[in-house]
Amino acid sequence: MRERGYDIDSPRGGGKSKLADDAGVHRAAVSRLIQRQSMPDLETMRRLASVLGVPLRDMLIRSGRLSEDDLPIAVTRGGAAAGAPQLLSPEEAARRMGVPPELQAVFVKVTRAFLPERG
């Protein structure tokens, strides 16, 4: 945030409000994220990541709520060409992230909405 010119350290600097305005999100979401009080919803994180020029994956990791182990970039699977990575399925991601079984179907549905369509 600082690297992008948002003064988030000064209470009167206006950086949090400007970032919230630029991203089209509520200022409280920005404040809670910075203070590590809560994780904004996925759409808020997506908007903030876009304004900051940061990949959403990095934003989630930098927020401190998820680790690189929680969001691996790619894994190789049996039968794939040597060195050919495949992305995790939403089901596998839910399992690895510890999403409770009763919420996995919702997680998969929401995740699929953000994935590119396969041709």
**pLDDT tens column, 23-75:** 999 888 888 878 877 777 888 888 988 998 888 888 888 777 778 888 777 65
Side chain identity at 30, as an amino acid letter?
V
pLDDT the model gives residue 83: 47
- pTM score, two decimals? 0.55
Map out the domains of the chain as residue ranges.
1-67, 72-119
Percent of the chain with pLDDT over 90: 14
83: left (phi over 0), alpha (psi -120 to 50) or beta: left
C-alpha span between 112 and 106 (Å, rounded)? 10
Fold of 1-67: 434 Repressor (Amino-terminal Domain) (1.10.260)
Handedness of CA 91, 113, 56, 35 (dihedral sign): negative
- Residue 5, SS3 per DSSP: coil
